[in-house]
Amino acid sequence: MISERLKKQLSAGSQIRKMFEEGNRLKAIYGADKVYDFSIGNPDLEPPHEVSDALKELSNNPTPGMHGYMSNSGYESTRSAIAAKKSAESGLDIKSDAICMTVGAASAMNDVLHSLLDQDDEVIVIAPYFMEYNGYISNHGGKAVIVQTDDKFMPVISSIEAAITPRTKAIIINSPNNPSGVVYPSSLLSELNEMLKKQDHVVHVISDEPYIDLVYDGMTVPCALKYIDNLIVCFSWSKSLSLPGERIGYTLVSPKNEDYADLTAAIVLSNRTLGSVNAPAIWQRVIEKSLNAKVDVSNYENRRNLLYSNIIDAGFDAVKPNGALYIFMNTPEGLTDDKFSEICASKNLLLVKGSSFSRPGYCRLAFCVSESTIRNSRQAFFAIADELGLSHRASL
Amino acid sequence: MISERLKKQLSAGSQIRKMFEEGNRLKAIYGADKVYDFSIGNPDLEPPHEVSDALKELSNNPTPGMHGYMSNSGYESTRSAIAAKKSAESGLDIKSDAICMTVGAASAMNDVLHSLLDQDDEVIVIAPYFMEYNGYISNHGGKAVIVQTDDKFMPVISSIEAAITPRTKAIIINSPNNPSGVVYPSSLLSELNEMLKKQDHVVHVISDEPYIDLVYDGMTVPCALKYIDNLIVCFSWSKSLSLPGERIGYTLVSPKNEDYADLTAAIVLSNRTLGSVNAPAIWQRVIEKSLNAKVDVSNYENRRNLLYSNIIDAGFDAVKPNGALYIFMNTPEGLTDDKFSEICASKNLLLVKGSSFSRPGYCRLAFCVSESTIRNSRQAFFAIADELGLSHRASL
């Protein structure tokens, strides 16, 4: 009696549940410290002190109405503060009404897609990509059209252009990328914009930016607002401030977007009718007081370095990620990601198959696990390499 | 370039925006204390001290991971506490997995409808009803089928039965009701259940219960779980604890529901893919510590009494509401609700037309406005009655 759509999704979802259960099974047998579970991308740093200070201040000094309804788009003061910050970053004149506060980035994406899509409209996604996009798109009657990147996981503009049809409403970009960790350079964003300007109809670019503050090697992520006109940003503080359980983010429509007035109104309406109504009041206030704070990114960078060394030193290959929380390693020559992940599991090492990101031949490892787990896993990588007859590049 | 669906919704929504703007216009001209705005149902009491105490305690004693991800259904401890409370109320053995914590009741309703509906499935709504249901249903491809109540706003079982087709997936009930304030007796819930058991296929009852703690005259609201088998409860603490801006509620599938296993799994999946991911972490913790608290209902009851007296004493008619935050008054003989609301606005008295709840011939007045506004409005009700030639039932 549940819907056909949900029946399909429930059976498809069981693969992830199986892995989760497999992790628990292995931990019960071998002990938690002997299982190297790189499957789950759960930000594990505590929020910076600005966040806990702001939360304390608000809780200890309650003001009347602080837990009441506000506009569906959120507090004006919060949106103004974000608009000022994003104006400074982009050089654009961003007004507070460009922004709608949301229940995290997942809710932001649903609001935007609900606003854009009619039945059978198409949305281009760039593989490898976060598999939840499929659900966000189909929720609102749309179809995901998958375009592959090159072997460094960089989008190829001509491939994207070839996938555009009269029904293409939007392209989702995600940089730093989950699962590959690559950061798109500004030149690529400019090329994308130029190509889209030549099309017969408006194709919006939805920039999913939850990892924008998690970037390493002294890099900065180019601000998509600077380079793409018909842009809609979806953001979440889940990673930047380590608040994934609290659900706070926003949508931002570029002032250069040709559908600015309709889109900003439609997103606020979608935010109401899809059931969020508004983003949690207290977290909007906390965010306003913590806008310039950030988690300790060097901590993640250190763990990325350790895990990357394990992979490379053991004899495997991977593009070194400049951002996000994942390494998307190549599966060794001649092995499917299915078979490779089976071999890894036999050594108590858990990862997610690239097929789950529409990119077979790779596997994703999340490095937001304890440093000791990463250090202890080194021998497992070496043992797997031995079993496959790979030559190590360094000693254990 | 926004979707056709949203274009329609945006133009339909403009009626409410107009009223809001009309209120602001009148307040600018006459002063806020000379405008009697009964149009908006915004709970205006502060949360009980248990809530602010719990929030302080959590903020002042942070624990690692307290803002992190948890299961998409919410914390086990929070769900267990709610399950125990609802088991005691219903006499049923409710397990924690019956419950999914949600971003308020609006999100709960979307999760449930997304889980149940395929394209063109039907959902019966009982007029007068909260107009947002239309959006929640159409979001997931469904169609609202409207069934009218009797002149005391009580559902008529034979009318509901006549509206059932092979495509009927669910019936939404809402007691205490927005906008009428009536409370459905247990006998009616039993009759509904008996009628549904005779049908060829399962028709779920979605009980939208945000007002269940706002009940007056010493009444208690019959627990729908006791009387209806294929039940799904949608609840929010927006009114019970005056937390509408924080977005916290739940879905609860009755252990008697024939689709229990599929439904509980589908709702958790919908909660994830529709973008909530999970209900805000800190509010789940606060709720767990405040489960037996409630706002000062006598305060609302007092204001209901004052507003009801104004209406009746001036010479108008209304069913006295036993719950919720509204009086759904009859428009005087021979006047449409359109015309009547115009006359009221000319005396600076703002209300919502019954047509907006699919029940013309009535108007909704929210009594969650200041006591002084209600007292000051008395002369406006009398002036309007005079203009219409009605006889007063008491003196001004």
ipTM value of the model?
0.96
Place of tokens 């267990």: B80
pLDDT in tens, chain A (396 residues): 899 989 988 887 756 667 777 888 899 999 988 999 999 888 999 999 999 999 999 999 999 999 999 999 999 999 999 999 999 999 999 999 999 999 999 999 999 999 999 999 999 999 999 999 999 999 999 999 999 999 999 999 999 999 999 999 999 999 999 999 999 999 999 999 999 999 999 999 999 999 999 999 999 999 999 999 999 999 999 999 999 999 999 999 999 999 999 999 999 999 999 999 999 999 999 999 999 999 999 999 999 999 999 999 999 999 999 999 999 999 999 999 999 999 999 999 999 999 999 999 999 999 999 999 999 999 999 999 999 999 999 999
What does the pLDDT read at residue B244? Answer: 96
Q: Which of B13, B69, B118 sits opposite A3 (nearest CB)?
A: B118
> Residue A186 to residues A220, A222, B141, B284: CA-CA distances in angstroms?
11, 6, 40, 41
Residue A4 and residue B46: Cβ atoms within 8 Å? no
B247-287 tens-digit pLDDT: 999 999 999 999 999 999 999 999 999 999 999 999 999 99
Collect all residues of chain A within an 8 Å Cβ-Cβ radius of residue B280: 103, 245-247, 280, 283
- Is residue B251 within 8 A of residue B232, CB to CB? The reply is yes
User: In this complex, how many residue pairs, one in chain A and one in chain B, have their CB atoms less than 8 Å apart?
Assistant: 236
Amino acid letter, B198:
K
Collect all residues of chain B within an 8 Å Cβ-Cβ radius of residue A204: 1
- Is residue A104 within 8 A of residue A238, CB to CB? The reply is yes
DSSP A298: H
Give the distance from residue B297's alpha carbon to the nearest chain A alpha carbon, in angstroms: 17
Collect all residues of chain A within an 8 Å Cβ-Cβ radius of residue B70: 245
Q: Which of A263, A266, A273 sits opposite B139 (nearest CB)?
A: A273
Backbone angles phi, psi at A172, to 5 degrees: -95, 125
Q: Rounded mean pLDDT of B163-182? A: 98
Q: Is the dihedral of CA B341, B344, B348, B354 positive or negative?
A: negative
> Residue A170 to residues A142, A165, B78, B231, B334: CA-CA distances in angstroms?
10, 11, 39, 39, 52
- Is residue A99 within 8 A of residue A234, CB to CB? The reply is no
Residue B253's DSSP bridge partners are B232
First to last CA, chain A: 55
Q: Which of A4, A118, A245 sits opposite B4 (nearest CB)?
A: A118
- Is residue B144 within 8 A of residue B137, CB to CB? The reply is yes
What does the pLDDT read at residue B17? Answer: 66
Give the distance from residue B92's alpha carbon to the nearest chain A alpha carbon, in angstroms: 23
What span, in angstroms and rounded, lies between the C-alpha atoms of A106 and A245?
A: 12
A139-187 tens-digit pLDDT: 999 999 999 999 999 999 999 999 999 999 999 999 999 999 999 999 9
B43-59 tens-digit pLDDT: 999 999 999 999 999 99
- Is residue A47 within 8 A of residue A242, CB to CB? The reply is yes
What does the pLDDT read at residue A24? Answer: 83
B182-192 tens-digit pLDDT: 999 999 999 99
Collect all residues of chain A within an 8 Å Cβ-Cβ radius of residue B110: 274-275
3-state SS, residue A340: helix
CA of A4: which chain B residue's CA is closest? B118
CA of A73: which chain B residue's CA is closest? B245
Give the distance from residue A256's alpha carbon to the nearest chain B alpha carbon, in angstroms: 15
Neighbours of B60 (CB within 10 A): 12
What does the pLDDT read at residue B22? Answer: 83
What span, in angstroms and rounded, lies between the C-alpha atoms of A317 and A332?
A: 8
Domains of chain A: 4-47+295-388 (3.90.1150.10), 49-289 (3.40.640.10)
Q: Which of A6, A111, A201 sits opposite B270 (nearest CB)?
A: A6
What does the pLDDT read at residue B21? Answer: 78
Give the distance from residue B359's alpha carbon to the nearest chain A alpha carbon, in angstroms: 21
**Residues near B334 by beta carbon (within 8 Å), at least 6 away in sequence:** none
- Is residue B197 within 8 A of residue B229, CB to CB? The reply is yes
Residue B67 and residue A243: Cβ atoms within 8 Å? yes
Rg (CA), chain B: 21
> Residue A267 to residues A78, A94, A223, A356, B13: CA-CA distances in angstroms?
17, 16, 22, 29, 13
- Is residue B361 within 8 A of residue B47, CB to CB? The reply is no
Residue B116 and residue A265: Cβ atoms within 8 Å? no
